[in-house]
Amino acid sequence: MKDPSMTQLPEDLTFDAAGLIPAVCQDDASGDVLMLGYMNTEALARTLDSGDVWFFSRSREQLWHKGASSGNFLRVVSVTADCDRDTVLVRVDPEGPTCHTGARTCFHHPLHA
């Protein structure tokens, strides 16, 4: 992995007041939305450099390499900003279930049919 401080992030991305940007992770093959996480500039740089998804954990206030403890990595296919440049879509190739519960996706609680 390259030094994340060497990555030049687009200057026109909009991070919130806490320095975070939402990152929607989508299965590249199926199109299923797998999870939503938040990235700070370092997590986004590591994601772009390493080919693995990194987040910033708001509860633990630290970087989080998705899959480091579970082995269920999200391998990056592409990263795209939305039209307002305040959210990123990370298309991934998941290695195993994405949700910490063991479910394939974090979105598995229907509220309405």
Confidence band of 44 (pLDDT split at 50, 70, 90): very high
Residue 101 belongs to some domain of the structure: no
User: What is the mean predicted confidence (pLDDT) over 20-36?
Assistant: 98
Residue 44 belongs to some domain of the structure: yes
What CATH number should be reported for the domain holding residue 47? 3.10.20.810
pLDDT at 6: 54
Residue 2 belongs to some domain of the structure: no
* pLDDT above 70 (res 10): yes
- Number of structural domains (the chain) is 1
Residue 112 belongs to some domain of the structure: no
Entry pTM: 0.90
Identify the domain containing residue 49 by its residue range: 19-94
Residue 77 belongs to some domain of the structure: yes
Residue 37 belongs to some domain of the structure: yes
What residue type is assigned to position 93 of the chain? Answer: D
| High-pLDDT (> 70) share of the chain, % | 94
